[in-house]
Chain A
Amino acid sequence: MTALSVLAKDLKLHARDARFLATLALFSLSLVLILSVAFGPLFDDPAKEASATLWASLFFAGVLGLTRALDLESESGGGEALRLTGADPFSVYAGKAAANLILMAALFLLLLPCTAVFFDVGSLDQLPGVAGVAALALIGYAAWGTLFAALARGLKARELLLSILLFPTLIPLWIGAVKLTRSLWADGTIDPVSDWVKIMVLADVLGVALAAWLYETIQEAEE
């Protein structure tokens, strides 16, 4: 119940922020377009270049999304009021992580067809596989990103800290996502790189477990 209320609140705040949504969409689409022009028009390895473009764009747009989510919590103290309600901290985390996941998933749904068209890769029968890879990567992104966003909240250099923490932590997830997507688009299978699935699952589980352990402490450290 608490998690659902937090999720609904965060989605409502994002949905009403049309300027932010437009910025996010334009920024990520521009990245895809620029990289497709940079790699093209004759692609050496379209599956490799397309997967790198897709996941790089999602990563940078995701940082923008997490930073905005941080601002929404801190601009008039809503986040502090939420902390002072006495609501279960992990439920609050779960709701916020779910909202970040949905935002990233929407971004993925926007960028995937554009990347496929610009680089001429992928087919409909590969879609479930790519969606599975996206689920693994984005769950990890939301899990770690929400945790680090809570850590950065209240600090003056929060955007910088968020980026510094996120980049190294998400490397295994993003390398896995690039390799698995490339393999799907190039060979139609993930068999040669299937070990990355285990690494990504591990990164996801670790992110959620760490949040369950630390979120309350991080939330109270804001004081």
Chain B
Amino acid sequence: MSRRAGCGNPADLTLVARDLEKRFGHRAVLRKASLELRPGEILLLEGRNGSGKTTLARILATALREDAGAVTLDGAFVRAKLQAARRAIGFLTHRPLLYLGLTPLENLEFFGRMAGLMDARPRAERLLARFGLTEFARVPMEHFSRGMLQRVALGRALLNEPKVLILDEPYAGLDEPGVTTLNEMLREARERGAATLVVSHDRERVASLATRSCALRDGRVA
């Protein structure tokens, strides 16, 4: 695993963030943070608590707007083609981003349809089976454990086989079988050419998969 954040040929880059800045009140969280993601790579992003990893992940996933700087996807500004960019990005964050009143199958089917998938239901069933949730596929999720919600949330992020995966602490709450399944799916995503950013403190778990790593310090990616 290389430690270098690296600069490549622009044509080879999927997602590029340049000089991102973000402030919350008087506190500058990102200060000219730049990052590049290439097809077929898994980049591990590390950093201390409060270093701005989640903020950076949210900006890359278009969930949050940067104060300055820009993000491009395949050379086009994501803000200029926002809906298309969103369909190309799978995002997992601390909150499950699911409807707890619906079942896992209903959630995945719904989000699949919203992403324009014609075969959302069979895909959802396959993903739930891989995450060992077939037995709970038709149970509303109000009383699901953190780990079960995380599995469904991962299913949501991976459902449409996005070109870019932004996964913020994907191992949180997962048991060993869940970790194994996630790593298998990340390997498959890498093989089909997806660019993946994993924000994690679990270096050991992602070390065998990550092709590069970088860290966020003082609002910059190093």
Report A's interface with B, CB cutoff 8 A: 1-2, 5-6, 9, 12-13, 16-17, 72, 75-78, 80-88, 220, 223
Contacts of B156 in A (CB 8 A): 81
In the complex formed, the residue of A with least CB distance to B112 is A85
A81 x B111 contact (CB < 8 A) = yes
Given contacts A84-B63, A84-B86, A86-B83, contact A2 B99 (CB under 8 A): no
Cβ contact within 8 Å between A9 and B102: yes
Q: Are A223 and B98 in contact (CB under 8 A)?
A: no
Residues of B within 8 A of A17 (CB): 101
Instruction: Establish whether residues A77 and B113, one from each chain, have CB atoms under 8 Å apart when the complex forms.
Output: no
**What total of A-B pairs shows CB separation below 8 Å?**
79
* B115–A9 touching, CB < 8 Å: no
> Are B98 and A81 in contact, with the CB atoms below 8 A?
yes
B64 touches A223 (CB 8 A): yes
Q: Mark B97-114, 1 if CB is under 8 A from A, else 0.
A: 111111000100011011
B91 and chain A: residue at smallest CB distance = A84
Category for how many chain B residues contact A: 20 to 34
Q: Are A80 and B111 in contact (CB under 8 A)?
A: no
Task: Tell me if B65 counts as interface (CB < 8 A to partner A).
Answer: yes
Complex contact B110–A13 (CB within 8 A)? no
| Chain A min CB distance to B132 (Å) | 21
Most buried by A among B95, B97, B114: B114
Further 11 A-B residue pairs, CB within 8 A, beyond A9-B110, A12-B106, A16-B140: A13-B99, A77-B95, A77-B97, A80-B63, A81-B97, A84-B61, A84-B91, A85-B87, A86-B82, A86-B116, A220-B65
A129 to B85, CA, bound (A): 48
Residues of B within 8 A of A83 (CB): 63
Answer whether residue B211 sits at the interface, using C-beta atoms and an 8 A cutoff. no
Separation of A200 and B91 alpha carbons in the complex (Å): 43
Are A86 and B100 within 8 A (Cβ)?
no
Given B84, B89, B96, B111, which contacts A76 in the complex, CB threshold below 8 Å? B96
Interface string of B65-83 (1 = CB under 8 A from A): 1000000000000000011
* Beta-carbon contact of A13 and B101 below 8 Å: yes
- Contact (A84, B62) CB under 8 Å given A5-B114, A9-B110: yes
B contact residues around A220 at 8 Å (CB)? 65, 82
In the complex formed, the residue of A with least CB distance to B115 is: A85
* Contact A2–B95 (Cβ < 8 Å): no
Report whether B86 and A86 are in contact in the complex, using a CB–CB cutoff of 8 Å: yes
**What distance in Å separates the Cβ of A131 from its nearest Cβ neighbour in chain B?**
30
Residue among A75, A86, A223 making CB contact with B65, cutoff 8 Å: A223
**Given A17-B101, A84-B61; A2-B113 close (CB under 8 Å):** yes
A12 and B101 alpha carbons, distance in the complex (Å): 8
Q: Do B100 and A75 have beta carbons less than 8 Å apart? A: yes
Please name all residues of chain A whose beta carbon is closer than 8 Å to the beta carbon of B62 when the two chains form the complex: 84
Q: Which residues of B contact A84 (CB under 8 A)?
A: 61-63, 86, 89, 91, 97
Do B114 and A2 touch (CB < 8 A)?
yes
Q: A84-B91, A223-B63 are in contact. Are A5 and B100 (CB under 8 A)?
A: no
Distance A6 CA – B82 CA, assembled complex (angstroms): 20
